[in-house]
Structure 1
Amino acid sequence: MAERNTKISKVDAIYGLILDKIQSRELLPGDRLNIEDLARDFGVSRTPVRETVNRLIQEGFVEQKHNVGPSVVQLSDEQAQDLIEANAALGGLVFDSFGYLKDLQGLQSALQEVMTMQLTASECGDDRRFHEASVGFHKVLIEHCTNPIIRDYAMKTQNQINMCNFAYMATKENHQQSLKAHSEVNEAVQNGELKKARKLMERHNKFEGTIFFQGKKRNL
């Protein structure tokens, strides 16, 4: 059991280090992730690095190209725009599915917990934990989607869009906008006002979308 826990902690640690490299732009979109080089840099065997890279691929941060190997995901402007549009549309479907929940207690509790984490991270100035909580907020909503097909597509899209969120969260203004938007959505959900929460979340997703394209926007 101790060996298994050590293995998990190594993967988690390497995962955090690679995400830090992406967030700090030390690793740029398109940069290759060489397993052997990373293992040497982190002073570990190739196994936990390989597991970490597989996790990053599953979460949409890294892509595996044929005959090239793993690399940081690189999206064209059009691909990023399409991704934002898909995310906004799927987000609406996720909220529509909440009407089939027997009650909202599970969703309300989980959303409040991650909202508290985001608020605490903001007060402490912990940007990494703030980002994790911000991503977690979106994922809590998706995880409570009652339609498994919509849930799977929405989660995949959210994982891919997290690459954009790194740049989005780099400025304090956008940092505070995210906190404000999530607080408003959470309050509406806690009050059982799902239609209001849906509109607020749609506005939030579209606002984030306009940040990424800087003059290359199209109507969302």
Structure 2
Amino acid sequence: MNAMPPTDAERTSRADDVYALLKRDIADFRLVPGDRFTENEVCERLGVSRTPVRQALFRMKQEGFVEVSFRAGWRVLPFDFDKFEQLYDLRMVLETEAVRRLCAMAPDSNQEALAALAAIWLVPPEARLPDMARVGELDEAFHCTLVEAAGNPEMARVHRDVTERIRLIRRLDFTKPARVDATYEEHGRILRAVLAHRSDEACRLLRSHIGASQAEVRKITLHEVYLARSQARGEGK
């Protein structure tokens, strides 16, 4: 008996899975700016047909992560630092407005979300996680939770899109051990100000925190990207 062809829903689901895996490859430095690959290579590695791979790659092309040459295959796009500057400016606007709104809410609002953040970030130094990659993921979650807790779903949606688009450049910040303690300290100060509803202080601390990250972005070199890939692969140890 012949197998039934995949339904449209199944094709969409597979394309979403491929998309998520390829985006993860970029975030985890398995694919870095300048890398070239073919659709067939992705098909073989992931064990899927060409259709969902092509759908995923064209979606990533629309989002500015990859480009295609019909003779040379696909390429991860180089960093566009002007675009990163614009995205960081947008992130600053969204997050400071979210924090301002959070501080103006009733004291019993968002207790669960803020308590969950406190359990991660308001801990003694000996309880801090040493895993830089994990702290990088928690850093993203911290900022996304603050925006989501402000109660504007459209603001949160735009912020998630910005977060996706700066993920690789942001994760490079967490290849430096000093950033782990600095992030705990800075997040702790921001969170304490939010919990105390000190709006001006929370916004000032947040602007300083994001500004420091933005300044680090301007210093990034391609060498650091390849070094991050070597570290992710466990090389050079």
Structure 2 unaligned segments of length 5 or more: list them. Answer: 1-9, 221-237
Once the two structures are superposed, residues 13-40 of structure 1 have per-residue CA deviations (whole angstroms, 9 ceiling, x without a partner) of x73x86366434x421253564542342
Q: CA deviation at 1:150?
A: 3.1
Once the two structures are superposed, residues 115-171 of structure 1 have per-residue CA deviations (whole angstroms, 9 ceiling, x without a partner) of 534669x74432332211111001101212333443333232222222211111110
User: What's the Cα RMSD here?
Assistant: 4.0
Mapped pair 1:194 → 2:199: yes
Q: CA deviation at 1:207?
A: 0.7
Contact 1:53 1:70 in 2 (8 A): no
Matched ranges for 1:37-186 at <5 A: 37-42=41-46, 44-46=47-49, 50=53, 53=56, 57=60, 63=65, 65=67, 72=76, 74-98=78-102, 101-106=105-110, 108-117=111-120, 123-186=128-191
Structure ranking higher on relative contact order (CA contacts 8 Å, 6+ apart): 2
Aligned residues: 200
Aligned to 1:203, which of 200, 204, 208?
208
Distance in 2, matches of 1:51 and 1:110, equals 38
Q: CA deviation at 1:192?
A: 2.7
Once the two structures are superposed, residues 150-203 of structure 1 have per-residue CA deviations (whole angstroms, 9 ceiling, x without a partner) of 333323222222221111111011222112111111122222323322211111
- Percentage identity across aligned positions? 15
Over alpha carbons, which structure has the higher Rg?
2
Cα distance change on mapping 1:175 and 1:50 into 2, 3 Å: farther
Cα distance change on mapping 1:146 and 1:71 into 2, 3 Å: farther
